Chains A and B, each alone.
Chain A
Amino acid sequence: MSAVALRPPELVMRLARLGASHPTRLSFLRLLMRRAAQERWRVRRARFELDDEGYGRAVYAVATPARAYSLVAFSTPLEDERRTDRVIAQAWDTSYALYDGTPDADEVARLQANAPLQEAGRFTQRDLVLARANKSVRLFQAVVDALARGEQPDAEQLANVGYLMRTTAVYGNGKFGIADRDEIASRPELGGPFQAEMLTVWLIRSFTFDLADHIASRRNPTGAVRLARPLRRMLGVGNATGLGMAPFLVRHPVLIHNWFCARETALARVRALPRAAERQAAAFLRALDEMRGRVAHWRTVDPRQAAAILGLSADLGALAREAPAILRGAPLPWDALYRFAEERLSLEGQEACVALLLEPHGALVDDLAETMTADESLGHPIDGGMTCGALRALIETRYAWARRIDFAQPAAVARFWYVSADKLEPRLGERFEEDGAELEQPLATARDALALSAALRREPAEARLAEFLVRHPEWRHVARRAQVVAKFPYAEICDNLIGADLRPVDLLRAKLAFFGARNFDPRSDRWLRIALFAGEPLIEEIDAEGALGEAA
Chain B
Amino acid sequence: MIDLSLNEAETLAAKAARGAGFSWGLADEIGRAARGMAMRRQAWGEALLALARSADALAPPDVARIARWRRGERDIAGTRPLCPVRTAALLLDDAPSFAGKLRIAHVGLPIWLDAMLSRSAVWTADVGEPLATGDVIVRRGASAARPAGARRAAVAPQTLAALNGYAARTYVPESERSRARGAGGGRVDDDQ
Query: Which of A's residues lie within 8 Å of B, judged by CB?
Result: 80, 83-89, 124-125, 134-139, 157, 160-161, 166, 168, 173-183, 238, 240-244, 377, 380-385, 418-430, 433-436, 439, 442, 464-467, 469-471, 473-480, 523-524, 526-529
- When the two chains form their complex, are residues A137 and B182 in contact, meaning their CB atoms are under 8 A apart? no
Q: How far is A174 from B172 in the complex, measured between Cα atoms in Å?
A: 24
CB closest residue in chain A, given B97:
A385
Size band of the interface chain B makes with A: 35 or more
Shortest C-beta distance, A309 to chain B (Å), equals 16
27 A-B Cβ contacts within 8 A? A84-B187, A85-B187, A85-B188, A87-B185, A88-B182, A88-B185, A125-B5, A136-B188, A138-B191, A177-B4, A180-B5, A180-B7, A182-B151, A240-B184, A384-B93, A384-B94, A385-B97, A420-B178, A424-B171, A425-B183, A429-B178, A430-B177, A435-B173, A436-B173, A439-B172, A467-B94, A478-B25
Q: Mark B131-147, 1 if CB is under 8 A from A, else 0.
A: 00000000000000000
- When the two chains form their complex, are residues A174 and B177 in contact, meaning their CB atoms are under 8 A apart? no
Shortest C-beta distance, B130 to chain A (Å), equals 23
Shortest C-beta distance, A19 to chain B (Å), equals 15
User: Which chain B residues border A175 with CB–CB below 8 Å?
Assistant: 5, 7-8
Q: How far is A242 from B186 in the complex, measured between Cα atoms in Å?
A: 11
- When the two chains form their complex, are residues A86 and B174 in contact, meaning their CB atoms are under 8 A apart? no
User: Which chain B residues border A477 with CB–CB below 8 Å?
Assistant: 23-25, 28
Shortest C-beta distance, B108 to chain A (Å), equals 16
Q: How far is A182 from B191 in the complex, measured between Cα atoms in Å?
A: 38
Q: Does B57 contact A (CB under 8 A)?
A: no
- When the two chains form their complex, are residues A466 and B5 in contact, meaning their CB atoms are under 8 A apart? no
Q: How far is A477 from B27 in the complex, measured between Cα atoms in Å?
A: 9
Given contacts A138-B189, A139-B192, A464-B97, contact A421 B24 (CB under 8 A): no
Q: Which of A80, A134, A157, A474 contacts B192 (CB 8 A)?
A: A157
Q: Does B168 contact A (CB under 8 A)?
A: yes
Q: Does B32 contact A (CB under 8 A)?
A: yes
Closest 8 A-B residue pairs measured CB to CB? A527-B184, A476-B25, A384-B93, A174-B7, A86-B185, A174-B5, A436-B172, A466-B94
Q: Which of B32, B178, B188, B189 contacts A377 (CB 8 A)?
A: B32
Given contacts A174-B8, A470-B60, A476-B25, contact A242 B92 (CB under 8 A): no
Interface centre among B23, B28, B29, B93 (most CB of A within 10 A): B93
Given contacts A182-B6, A464-B97, A476-B25, contact A160 B192 (CB under 8 A): yes
Shortest C-beta distance, A279 to chain B (Å), equals 39
User: Which chain B residues border A384 with CB–CB below 8 Å?
Assistant: 90, 92-94
Shortest C-beta distance, B46 to chain A (Å), equals 20
Q: How far is A20 from B175 in the complex, measured between Cα atoms in Å?
A: 32
User: Which chain A residues border B185 with CB–CB below 8 Å?
Assistant: 84-89, 168, 240, 242, 523, 527
User: Which chain A residues border B3 with CB–CB below 8 Å?
Assistant: 124, 177
User: Which chain A residues border B179 with CB–CB below 8 Å?
Assistant: 422
Shortest C-beta distance, B33 to chain A (Å), equals 11
Q: Does B152 contact A (CB under 8 A)?
A: yes
- When the two chains form their complex, are residues A526 and B184 in contact, meaning their CB atoms are under 8 A apart? yes
Q: Mark B88-122, 1 if CB is under 8 A from A, else 0.
A: 01101110110000000000000000000000100
CB closest residue in chain A, given B192:
A161
User: Which chain B residues border A86 with CB–CB below 8 Å?
Assistant: 182-186
Q: Which of B66, B92, B97, B178 contacts A381 (CB 8 A)?
A: B92
User: Which chain B residues border A87 with CB–CB below 8 Å?
Assistant: 183, 185
CB closest residue in chain B, given A481:
B25
- When the two chains form their complex, are residues B60 and A139 in contact, meaning their CB atoms are under 8 A apart? no
User: Which chain B residues border A442 with CB–CB below 8 Å?
Assistant: 24
- Which B21-37 residues have a C-beta within 8 angstroms of A? 22-26, 28-29, 32
Q: Which of A137, A430, A524 contacts B184 (CB 8 A)?
A: A524
User: Which chain B residues border A475 with CB–CB below 8 Å?
Assistant: 23, 25
CB closest residue in chain A, given B26:
A473
- When the two chains form their complex, are residues A476 and B187 in contact, meaning their CB atoms are under 8 A apart? no
User: Which chain B residues border A433 with CB–CB below 8 Å?
Assistant: 177
